[in-house]
Amino acid sequence: MAKFEYSYYPGCSSQTGASSSNLMRSVDTMCEELDLKLNPIPDWNCCSASIGYGSGNVLPRLSLSARNIALSEQHNPNQDIVATCAACWLSTRETAERLHQDENMFKDVNTALAEARLTLTNKTPIRHMAEVLIEDVGYESLARGVKKPLQGIRIAGYVGCQTNRPFGIAGESFENPLYLDKLVESLGGDSVPTYEKKVQCCGGALAFSEPEKSQAMIHGIIEAAYDNGADMIVTPCPLCQTNVEIYQDVINAKFGSKFEMPVVYYSQLISVAYGRNSKDAALDGQLIRAKKLESFAG
Amino acid sequence: MSLNNAMLEKYRNNFLQEVAGNVEQGDWVKMCMQCGVCAGSCPLGDAWEHSPQKIFMMIRANRREQVLSSDSMWMCTSCYHCVVRCPRGLPIPHIMHGLASYAKRLGLAPKSNPTLWFAEVFWNNMLKKGRVNELKLGLSLYFKDGFASGIKQAMAHQKLGINMLKAKRMAPMDMFAGHAIKDIFGLHKMIRKAQEIEAAKLEANSK
């Protein structure tokens, strides 16, 4: 039996052929190594992310996340829901909390859920994979399993927004969270605690609707990583990863920069440090190859 | 009578009350003490005309039309900087989202705002199969301003598309199939019900 078991909400962007399929693949590898069992919520739906408000208003939006929690309660009872996507985690947890605070809304959501033959009791803790790593696995235990310490790689921890605010990770500050740095150190890599853009917004969904404004912010995020001598950026968020990695050509053309900064997930770092190869760590899913990490992965 | 006129009629010169009664988390607006931390914390602070601080003051000053037609709320990236810094604990992003969607519902939101447009495309895309179809979402963005401009956009981003395909982070077959949930019928019924309940409450509030 696995050490820990969770009800897993992977989210749209983590599916096969989607923009963060490399997150899903490396999370699977990481969980194999850490003996964590993820039971996907059967028939989970999109949470509508942070842009859902525009057409979704309140009740339809909350119903979307409520459906996922209700399905989890039905099929994976007594298991904490764990999300790997920042927006999935935020929407689901926000829904759970809002429905705890607002009895009428809770009643209305259940009326809507009844149309899909579902009931919500709303007793399930909603957690992020980073919380699982820090609180259930722990840095020390994580460090013990390292087979290939990531010696000599300087990795800037880009926490971003929604993994960090408004809920964040217990014991961490909103302004200067250190858990990615601690994670990097646990894996034998060099953290960059002075990386000043670690909680800067990348634009989120506005990278699509307001690309110029977002790309200016992304430029700053990458520039600061270079200024701090980083070899690569690590992030827990699929949209942060995508936004910061894939527009570097466009940004270079616009700003006259020569950026070629790899942006990887924590799950890829752990997979490599635990001795897995590039494919298992989904390093073939990078648009900008993380060559230093690949040299460890073999 | 349109919903907008009914609300105008009902609340007369008390926009603060209208917001408190009809906008998501709107009753928090009266808690704002005008310190300006939200304005200084917003990553898109340079991009919008009215900071949350200004919006809150304008609500109190009955600048109803100016608030609801502002594009400022649509600039919220949901980064939550303001919410963790606000000394009074106002759920500012939710109020911004609430004002934006209320304005849209009343027909007062700025029609050409790209985020309003994208939010609608995203919602419809996601709801169709219960999960986002990223390929179609991306193509709608390229073809936003018509066919010719879409082809130009797609050509300009050709390299990015090919790279995403190679990395298996984009799937051409999603044009025809794509990920879907099984109980799409139940999901649609649930959303319709939620929309009905919400619309009925707003309607009742306007009387």
Q: Kindly list the residues from chain B whose CB atom is less than 8 angstroms away from the CB atom of residue A19.
A: 134, 164, 169-170
A247 and A166 within one domain: yes
A124 and A66 within one domain: yes
Q: Which residues of chain A have pLDDT under 50?
A: none
The helix-helix angle for A238-246 and A86-101 (nearest 10°) equals 150
Tell whether the torsion through CA atoms of A142, A146, A152 and A154 is positive or negative.
Answer: negative
* Pairwise pLDDT comparison (B101 vs B13), residue with the higher score: B101
Using the 8-state DSSP alphabet, how is residue A259 labeled?
-
Q: Within 13 A of B109's CA, how many CA atoms are on the CB side?
A: 26
Query: Position A169: which residue type?
Result: I
Is the pLDDT at B69 greater than 80? The verdict is yes
- The ipTM estimated for the assembled molecules is 0.96
Contact B192, A115 (CB under 8 A): yes
- Which CATH number goes with the domain that contains A238? 3.40.50.11810
- Which CATH number goes with the domain that contains A42? 1.20.1050.140
Whole-number pLDDT of residue B146 = 86
Is the pLDDT at B87 greater than 80? The verdict is yes
A62 and A193 within one domain: no
A106 and A195 within one domain: no
Nearest of A141, A21, A152 to residue A84 by alpha carbon: A21
Match 């990015």 to its residue by tokens. B160
Query: Position A48: which residue type?
Result: S
- The sheet with strand A154-157 has its strands ordered as A190-191, A154-157, A232-235, A263-265
Q: Is residue A209 situated within a structural domain? A: yes
Q: Considering CB atoms only, which of A117, A164, A201 is closest to B77?
A: A201
For an interface test with B, give the residue of A46, A50, A105, A219 to mutate (most B CBs within 10 A). Answer: A46
Q: Is residue A266 situated within a structural domain? A: yes
A185 and A72 within one domain: no
Number of domains in chain A: 2
* Nearest-by-CA chain A residue for B193: A112
Contact B172, B165 (CB under 8 A): yes
Q: Considering CB atoms only, which of A53, A162, A214 is closest to B97?
A: A53
Whole-number pLDDT of residue B38 = 98
* Pairwise pLDDT comparison (B154 vs A18), residue with the higher score: A18
Q: Is residue A176 situated within a structural domain? A: yes
Going by C-beta distance under 8 Å and a sequence separation of 6 or more, which residues neighbour residue A248? Answer: A222, A259, A260, A261, A288
A245 and A160 within one domain: yes
Strands A81-83 and A4-9, sheet pairing: parallel
Cβ contacts below 8 Å, chain A against chain B, sum to: 213
Q: Kindly list the residues from chain B whose CB atom is less than 8 angstroms away from the CB atom of residue A59.
A: 194-195, 197-198
Match 């009844």 to its residue by tokens. A114
**Cβ burial B162-174 (10 Å sphere, 16+ → b, else e):** ebbeebbbbbeeb
How far is Cα B83 from Cα B95, in angstroms, rounded to an integer?
10
Average pLDDT of the residues in B114-129: 97
Q: Kindly list the residues from chain A whose CB atom is less than 8 angstroms away from the CB atom of residue B38.
A: none
Nearest of A5, A68, A70, A12 to residue A39 by alpha carbon: A5
A82 and A159 within one domain: no
Helix (H, G, I), strand (E, B) or coil at A91: helix
Q: Kindly list the residues from chain A whose CB atom is less than 8 angstroms away from the CB atom of residue B116.
A: 54
> How would DSSP label each residue in B134-178?
HHHHHHHHHGGG-HHHHHHHHHHTHHHHHHHHHTT-S-GGGGTS-
Ordered domains of chain B (ranges, CATH): 3-109 (1.10.1060.10), 114-194 (no CATH)
Using the 8-state DSSP alphabet, how is residue A132 labeled?
I
How far is Cα B183 from Cα A118, in angstroms, rounded to an integer?
11
Q: Considering CB atoms only, which of B79, B124, B190 is closest to A161?
A: B79
A153 and A98 within one domain: no
Tokens of A37: 């069992």
Q: Is residue A195 situated within a structural domain? A: yes
The domain containing residue A193 runs over which residues? 148-297
* Nearest-by-CA chain B residue for A19: B169
Q: Decide if B111 touches A, using CB distance below 8 A.
A: no
Average pLDDT of the residues in B11-40: 97
Q: What is the CB neighbour count within 10 angstroms for residue B151? A: 12
* Interchain contact, A111 vs B160, CB within 8 Å: no
* Interchain contact, B79 vs A201, CB within 8 Å: yes
Q: Kindly list the residues from chain B whose CB atom is less than 8 angstroms away from the CB atom of residue A284.
A: 167-168
Q: Is residue A134 situated within a structural domain? A: no
* Interchain contact, A284 vs B167, CB within 8 Å: yes
Q: Considering CB atoms only, which of A58, A115, A209 is closest to B114?
A: A209
How far is Cα A291 from Cα A52, in angstroms, rounded to an integer?
37
How far is Cα A155 from Cα A193, in angstroms, rounded to an integer?
10
Whole-number pLDDT of residue B171 = 92
A202 and A153 within one domain: yes
